[in-house]
Amino acid sequence: MPYSSSGSEEEIIMQEYQKYLSEILICEPELKKRIAELGEEISRDYQESKDFLLVCILRGAVNFLTDLSRQITVPHAMDFMAISSYGTGNRSSSGVVRITMDLTTNISSKDVLIVEDIIDSGNTLSYVLDLLSTRKPKSLKVCALLDKSERREVPVPIQYTGFKIPNKFVFGYGLDLDELFRNLPFIGVVDLEKYQALKRPNDS
């Protein structure tokens, strides 16, 4: 059984995600297939690279990074960076972006590929691109699993996109719903009305 049933409120919500899952937008086999294609394309494009670094934006992109990395056949290093753009309970980016954990690698002269879960307003990515470009990488590109382009406020270049998705709040496969459900193997759409009605009364 994937989830325990000992009964804390959080666990009850965990077991009941089906109640507010309105649809599975991208199923596991579709994710696998597309990520294999992205891995192939990236391996082709970076075959001449002498110093190739994947930069994973925590926490949402971690599932994507580990699967994508295993589909990339050229040598590459990985590093991680954590950004906060909006807190638990909020459904849209505040535009206030800050680094909560920086890279440990010096990226100067490296071919850097940023791996992101989803590009929504574009605020987070725009901030990361500006910051990393000041560190003089040899190249700086972006691979995003999901692109919610209707919501864009800041234009951002995305060289590799997994899926374009409609303007719906999604969760699973790294993406969280108030920090939960990153472990689900698919991308699901949240029925926000049902979710609000079911969640703990003290939550924002």
Which does residue 171 touch among ligand IMP, Mg ion, none (CB within 5 to 8 A, set by kind)? ligand IMP
**Span interacting with Mg ion, options 55-63, 100-108, 125-133, 191-199, rule CB under 5 A:** 55-63
Q: Which is nearer to Mg ion, 52 or 127 (CB)?
A: 127
**Among 35, 46, 123, 128, which residue sits at the site for ligand IMP (rule: CB under 6 A)?**
123
Q: Distance between CA atoms of 184 and 122, rounded to whole angstroms? A: 25
How many alpha carbons lie under 13 Å from residue 202 in its C-beta half-sphere? 2
Is-contact 117 148, C-beta < 8 A?
Answer: no
**Among 26, 65, 118, 140, which residue sits at the site for ligand IMP (rule: CB under 6 A)?**
118
Which does residue 162 touch among Mg ion, ligand IMP, none (CB within 5 to 8 A, set by kind)? none
Sign of dihedral through CA atoms 101, 105, 109, 114? negative
Q: Which is nearer to Mg ion, 46 or 121 (CB)?
A: 121
Write each residue from 86 to 115 as x if it is in contact with ligand IMP (CB under 6 A), else as -, in one continuous string.
Answer: -------x----------------------
The phi-psi region of residue 80 (left if phi > 0; otherwise alpha if psi is between -120 and 50; otherwise beta) is beta
Q: What is the DSSP letter of 150?
A: G
Catalytic residue ranges: 120
Residues 153-192 that bind ligand IMP (CB under 6 A): 169-171, 175
Pairing of β 77-84 and β 52-58? parallel
Which does residue 174 touch among ligand IMP, Mg ion, none (CB within 5 to 8 A, set by kind)? none
Beta carbon of residue 200, minimum distance to ligand IMP (angstroms, whole number): 19
**Among 39, 60, 137, 162, which residue sits at the site for Mg ion (rule: CB under 5 A)?**
60
Burial track 90-124 (b if 16+ CB lie within 10 A, e otherwise): eeebeeebeeeeebebebeebbbbbbbbbbbbbbb
Q: Give the binding site for Mg ion (CB under 5 A).
A: 60, 117
- Contacts with ligand IMP, residue ranges (CB under 6 A): 60, 85, 93, 116-125, 169-171, 175
